[in-house]
Amino acid sequence: MDSQKVVVVLLLVTIILSVISVVLTLTVSVPQSGPSKLSVNANQISNAGDLKSVQNGQISLGIEAPKK
């Protein structure tokens, strides 16, 4: 009798675990639509760098009155 009870308990545990597995499997979201083939959009992976660059240089000059 004891062994039979153990078997029953184990089977119940198996059922519980199976139910959990089913729930988890159904919970995993798998998109049902979308591209069926791998596609790569060049615009998305290109390096959209700056097309212009601006920099400054400076010139300094002091002008004094001519000496007599």
Q: Rule CB under 8 A: which residues touch other proteins?
A: 4, 7-8, 11-12, 14-15, 18-19, 21-22, 25-26, 28, 30-31, 34, 36-38, 40, 42-43, 45-67
Q: Least distance from C-beta 4 to other proteins, angstroms?
A: 5
The pair of structure tokens assigned to 66 is 């001519």
**How far is 25 from 27, CA to CA, in rounded Å?**
5
Triad 24, 25, 30: Cα angle to 5°: 120
Q: Least distance from C-beta 35 to other proteins, angstroms?
A: 8
Q: Least distance from C-beta 7 to other proteins, angstroms?
A: 6
